[in-house]
Amino acid sequence: MPPDKPPLDVTQPLYVSIRDGALVARYTLAGASGGYIGAERGEGRAYVWHPERIVMIPAAEVAMHRTPYVQALAAGDLVQRTAEEYEAANEAAEKKNREAIDASPNGSASPAGGTDT
């Protein structure tokens, strides 16, 4: 039997990315689903997954909704990431946005996509 994973620390933010093809609800402090982690509706209402996006879930949300997040991690639908990976992904997205703005003829461009979905 594989060793148990350490329990989820609800005093710290949780950094995750989605497994391609998985739908994991994102919960809010109000309790309602705030959409899906790393997935969104695309053209024709089909889902589009962004497994490269790393999402930070604040400690308060982790504490309130621990069970569904633990279940999604155990099922492999969510991949636990580190704060360092999250920061690196944010820096890369910001750089991509700056490059898009610099390359735009009028100095503005649509954001290249962030890590907060």
Consecutive sets of 10 residues in the chain, 117 residues long: mean pLDDT of each? 61 95 91 85 90 94 93 96 95 85 70 55
The SS3 call for residue 80 is: strand
Q: For residue 96, what pLDDT is reported?
A: 83
In a domain, 27, yes or no: yes
Q: For residue 113, what pLDDT is reported?
A: 56
Under 8 Å CB-to-CB from 109, ≥6 apart: which residues? 97, 100, 101, 103
In a domain, 2, yes or no: no
Q: For residue 2, what pLDDT is reported?
A: 45
In a domain, 93, yes or no: yes
Which helix (H) or strand (E) segment holds residue 55: the answer is strand 55-57
Q: For residue 115, what pLDDT is reported?
A: 53
Q: For residue 1, what pLDDT is reported?
A: 42
- What is the chain's percent helix, strand, coil content, to nearest 5? 35, 20, 45
Range of the domain at 61: 14-103
Q: For residue 21, what pLDDT is reported?
A: 94
